């Protein structure tokens, strides 16, 4: 399975998040899967690529040329794609992926996550999406989702578009047992 992981590019994060991401990357490798991410040699991206590859994963990175030219691409990728911009990067990552995991991250990670959830809501894909909720990182985001459901900005059934995993074993179990579903119409 080609698993796209959206994750932090920050090197200044607490060690708990780094350890959880390494565990996820190792699980991807041990499972014989491919890790796809933003190709960065910084933050959780580079750490995960290294850990996954050491455990047997194939690694694929997708990076915009501007970041590649800054020297931010991780050396050692099995496959590197350089795109013209961030929008092209996200499109290619979505195309290559069979599944998505959202690890803790900043604005870019949140933007990538919400885009794949929105595209699934609109039936542009039916791929599994997992939020790796390390240390309750996404709890406030989920509260915002709940408020959207409660105040009828979104249908409560949309909570089935994604899975919330407390740790990497739960995330991997969900992906490995995922079955596609009938589309949920936004307009019914």
Tens-digit pLDDT profile for residues 50-102: 999 999 999 999 999 999 998 888 899 999 999 999 999 999 999 999 999 99
Model confidence pLDDT, tens digit, residues 148-175: 999 999 999 999 999 999 999 999 999 9
pLDDT at 35 over 90: yes
Domain boundaries, the chain: 2-176
Cα distance between residue 42 and residue 39, in whole Å = 9
Fold of domain 2-176: Rossmann fold (3.40.50)
Token look-up 């496959």 returns: 79
Q: How confident is the model at residue 180 (pLDDT cuts 50, 70, 90)?
A: confident
Q: Look at residue 13 and give its three-state secondary structure.
A: coil
DSSP β-bridge partners for residue 60: 36, 79
Q: Answer for the pair 25, 46: CB distance below 8 angstroms, yes or no.
A: no
């Amino acid at each position: 399975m080609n698993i796209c992981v959206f994750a932090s590019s920050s090197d200044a994060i607490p060690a708990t998040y780094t350890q959880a991401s390494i565990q996820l990357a190792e699980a991807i490798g041990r499972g014989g899967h491919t890790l796809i991410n933003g190709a960065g040699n910084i933050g959780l991206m580079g750490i995960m690529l290294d850990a996954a590859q050491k455990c047997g994963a194939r690694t694929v990175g997708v990076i915009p040329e501007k970041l590649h030219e800054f020297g931010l691409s991780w050396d050692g990728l099995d496959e590197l794609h350089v795109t013209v911009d961030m929008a092209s990067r996200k499109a290619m990552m979505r195309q290559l992926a069979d599944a998505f995991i959202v690890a803790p991250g900043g604005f870019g990670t949140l933007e990538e996550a919400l885009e794949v959830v929105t595209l699934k809501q609109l039936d542009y894909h039916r791929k599994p999406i997992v939020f790796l909720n390390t240390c309750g990182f996404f709890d406030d985001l989920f509260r915002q989702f709940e408020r959207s459901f409660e105040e009828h900005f979104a249908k409560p059934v949309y909570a089935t578009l994604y899975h919330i995993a407390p740790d990497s074993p739960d995330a991997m179990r969900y992906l490995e047992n995922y079955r596609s579903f009938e589309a949920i119409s936004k307009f019914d």
